[in-house]
Amino acid sequence: MPRVLLFNKPCGVLCQFSPSAGKRTLKDFIPIADVYPAGRLDADSEGLVVLTDDGKLQHVISDPKTKLPKTYWIQVEGEPDEAALRRLRSGIDLGDFVTRPAHARHIEQPSGLWERVPPVRVRKNIPTGWIELELHEGKNRQIRRMTAATGFPTLRLIRSRIGPWILDGILPGQFRLIDQPQVRV
């Protein structure tokens, strides 16, 4: 039976086990040998990372061809309007590629959300809003580029779901071992 861990990656942590000068890595939080992340999150991003010791399962989780949905909560500068959400839903030309259509909706700040360390910058005269975005792909800094293209730059990015796995109840820097992988290999 493959081992599957759900980890809530804090901001500033690199999504790798190998040491990096002055940076925290997965090794600082996960004392289990021979598990590897199925996909990555930027150091500035937070939230759910799935780790496993099964290479085939790792591939299924991270391969965009399997179309395993990934859901994100995004705090943006400004209050996103319906036109911005429509652009996210229809796909955005980012110059080097056009994003696939995404599910996008305005949400309130997620309940039970922890404080980010370091905190998000706050401007007194500029409100912030939240978007929930579900993607079936994931290229480097894609979400940040998508929200910026709609005129609402990302301030905070949290992955809340990967396929059947959710972040619910896992505090930053903590992980949960899952009994059943829930995804067919």
> What residues are annotated to the active site?
42
**145, containing H or E segment:** helix 142-149
Residue 22 CB neighbours (<10 A):
5
Q: Cis omega before residue 80 (within 30°)?
A: no
Pairing of β 46-52 and β 154-162: parallel
Q: Is the peptide bond before 118 cis (omega within 30 degrees of 0)?
A: yes
Token output for 146: 């998508």
Residue 89: C-alpha distances to residues 7, 36, 46 (Å): 28, 32, 23
